[in-house]
Structure 1
Amino acid sequence: MEIDRNKELPIPFLRECLDYNPETGILTWKKRPESHFLHSSRADGGFNKKFAGKVAGNVMGRGYIWITLCGQSHFAHRLAWAIHYGKYPDGIIDHDNGDRTDNRILNLVESTNEKNSRNQKMRRTNTSGHMGVCLRKDTGKYRSFIQEGGKRIWIGNYDTFEEAVAARVAAEKKYGYHENHGRN
């Protein structure tokens, strides 16, 4: 099978190379047929001796599991989706519980960038302790805001942190943010 290294890999090829357990989310290497070694200096199946039956991939810098196939790195969650459903997702994949290493099929949700941004964890740079709430140094009041349709909406200014948080939580419900949004 001829593989274009710059595109998504054919699903039959993925299924030849990897086993996916949808209940655990784990991808494991399968024993590869000799045809997979034609472009390798080791036609003896050295890969099979070293990797067959072992967990595929490594957790990389951003917390996702990456798997290298045909000289390219691929997100494990996209490969899991493709193997399970027989097609690649149309959009991006969101990890519903926020754990980027949890590739169980019930945790993977087809999404858009906007929907995915509504299920973010709190950023390290957050200084108030709640997303969308900040202290205005000029007035000493707390300001609440939220993103909607690519624009920042200012909810209001409040005397207390608790009032600002309550306003932000109400806005999250109004605009359909995920219940996990803002988790630590």
Structure 2
Amino acid sequence: MEIDKNKELPIEFLRECFLYEAESGVMLWKHRPEHHFKSKAAYVNFNRDNAGKNVGSLNDRKYLLTRLMGKVYIVHRLVWAIHHGVQPNGFVDHINGERSDNRIENLRIVSNEENTRNAKKYNNNTSGFVGVHKRKDNGKYYAFISDGVKKVNLGQYQTLEDALSARKLAEIKYGYHENHGR
């Protein structure tokens, strides 16, 4: 099988490379056929070192990545392709927010907008809650949200609880995932 490195890898090729266990989310390297390699030595060395082992290593953003045919791939996109038999058309979202949890029940295809509506709270968050911060000038709590196009001001509140309530109602209104901001 001739592989074009500039295109998505064919599903049948991926299935020759990987064994995916949907219940656990683990993907293992298979003993790959000799025709995947440029030399007998590469074939022997790869299978000796990798066959039966977990695929991927975590990057700094906690996604599993792997190298195949000279290119780096995000493992959850390969998982989707192998399990469903088609390349993912959109973002592959981890429903529970755990980026290395590649159980098929934890993955879904979403648009960029939907993906941002199931995001973790940023590391630089100071209030502990997404979309709410305390104003230094007046001590009130300011709530906001994105409607998908622009930032929407939800108002200023005397208490954190009132600001959080306004934010939660807006999350429902704008279709945010229940795990957003975890």
Tell me which stretches of 4 or more aligned residues in structure 1 moved more than 4 Å: none
Q: Report 1:100-111 matches (<5 A).
A: 100-111=99-110
Report the counterpart of residue 30 of structure 2 in structure 1: 30
Looking at structure 2, the residues matched to 128 and 10 of structure 1 have their Cα atoms a distance apart, in angstroms, of 46
Question: 1:44: how far off?
Answer: 5.5
Looking at structure 2, the residues matched to 134 and 7 of structure 1 have their Cα atoms a distance apart, in angstroms, of 44
Distance 1:44 1:80, change over 3 A: closer
Q: Report 1:143-182 matches (<5 A).
A: 143-182=142-181
Looking at structure 2, the residues matched to 44 and 23 of structure 1 have their Cα atoms a distance apart, in angstroms, of 30
Looking at structure 1, the residues matched to 62 and 149 of structure 2 have their Cα atoms a distance apart, in angstroms, of 25
Distance 1:56 1:161, change over 3 A: same
Question: Which letter does structure 2 place at the counterpart of 1:21?
Answer: E
Q: Report 1:17-96 matches (<5 A).
A: 17-37=17-37, 39-40=38-39, 42=41, 45-96=44-95
Report the counterpart of residue 132 of structure 1 in structure 2: 131
Write out per-residue CA displacement over residues 48-107 of structure 1, whole angstroms, 9 at most, x where no aligned residue: 111111111111111100111001110111100100111011101000000000000000
TM-score after normalising by structure 2: 0.96
Q: Report 1:114-129 matches (<5 A).
A: 114-129=113-128
Write out per-residue CA displacement over residues 141-180 of structure 1, whole angstroms, 9 at most, x where no aligned residue: 1110000122100011111111111110111111111111
Looking at structure 2, the residues matched to 119 and 34 of structure 1 have their Cα atoms a distance apart, in angstroms, of 42
Looking at structure 1, the residues matched to 43 and 143 of structure 2 have their Cα atoms a distance apart, in angstroms, of 63
Gaps of at least 5 residues in structure 2 are none
Structure 1 vs Structure 2: percent identity of aligned residues? Answer: 54
Question: 1:125: how far off?
Answer: 0.8
TM-score after normalising by structure 1: 0.95
Question: Which letter does structure 1 place at the counterpart of 2:179?
Answer: N
Contact 2:36 2:43 in 1 (8 A): no
Question: Which letter does structure 1 place at the counterpart of 2:35?
Answer: S
2:172 is paired with a residue of what secondary structure? helix
Looking at structure 2, the residues matched to 41 and 17 of structure 1 have their Cα atoms a distance apart, in angstroms, of 17
Looking at structure 2, the residues matched to 138 and 44 of structure 1 have their Cα atoms a distance apart, in angstroms, of 66
Looking at structure 2, the residues matched to 137 and 50 of structure 1 have their Cα atoms a distance apart, in angstroms, of 57
Write out per-residue CA displacement over residues 97-118 of structure 1, whole angstroms, 9 at most, x where no aligned residue: 0000000000000001100111
Write out per-residue CA displacement over residues 111-136 of structure 1, whole angstroms, 9 at most, x where no aligned residue: 01100111111111111111101112
Gaps of at least 5 residues in structure 1 are none
